[in-house]
Amino acid sequence: MSQHLIIRLPGDPGQPVHWQCYPTAQEGQDSSGILSSVADLGALSESFPDAKTIVLVPSELVSVHCLQVEGRLTKAVLKSLPFRLEDDLAEDVDDLHISVMTREGDQVYLSVVAHSKMAFWHEALNQSGLKLKTMIPEALALPWSEGECSALAMDERWLLRTGRWNWAACDPSWLSFYLAEEDSETAPLKVNSFSEPPENSPGEWHQEVAGPALEVLAAGAVSAVSEKNSPNLLQGVWQVESSAIKSLKPWGLAAGLLAVTLTLFTAQAVLKSVQLEQQADQLRAQAHTVYSDLFPGERIVRLQSQMRQKLMALKSTKGDDSGLLKLLDQTAPLFKQYPQLKPVTLSYNQSQQSLRLEATAKDFETFTAFREESGEQLVITVETLEKSGDIAKGTLIIRGSDS
DSSP, collapsed to helix, strand or coil, labels residue 154 as coil
Q: What is the pLDDT of residue 283?
A: 82
pLDDT at 268: 76
Q: In the beta sheet, which residues pair with residue 98?
A: 112
| Record: fold of 319-400 | Gyrase A; domain 2 (3.30.1360)
pLDDT of 240 reads 80
Residue 181: which H helix or E strand, with range?
A: helix 175-182
Q: How far is CA 312 from CA 83, 126, 305, 317, in A?
A: 67, 52, 11, 9
Helix H, strand E, coil C: the string for 316-364 is HHHCCCCHHHHHHHHHHHHHHHCCCCEEEEEEEECCCCEEEEEEEECCH
Q: Are 117 and 11 in contact (CB under 8 A)?
A: yes
The crossing angle, in degrees rounded to 10, of helices 274-294 and 303-318 is 40
Give the pLDDT confidence score for residue 300 in this predicted structure.
83
For the chain, 403 residues long, give each residue's pLDDT as a single digit of tens: 688 999 999 999 989 999 999 887 666 577 889 999 999 999 998 888 888 899 999 999 999 999 999 888 888 998 899 899 988 888 899 999 999 999 988 999 999 999 999 999 999 999 988 888 899 999 999 988 888 999 999 988 999 998 889 999 999 988 888 888 877 767 788 999 999 988 888 889 999 887 889 999 998 899 888 887 789 999 989 988 655 445 555 566 777 778 888 888 887 777 777 777 788 788 888 888 877 766 666 788 888 888 787 777 655 544 444 577 788 888 888 888 888 988 888 888 888 888 898 999 999 988 888 888 877 788 888 889 998 888 999 999 988 877 6
Architecture of the domain spanning 144-206: 2-Layer Sandwich (3.30)
- Rounded Cα distance, 10 and 155, in Å: 10
Residue 269 pLDDT:
78
Query: Are β-strands 158-163 and 96-104 bridged in parallel, bridged antiparallel, or unpaired?
Result: unpaired
For the chain, the structural domain boundaries read 64-112, 144-206, 319-400
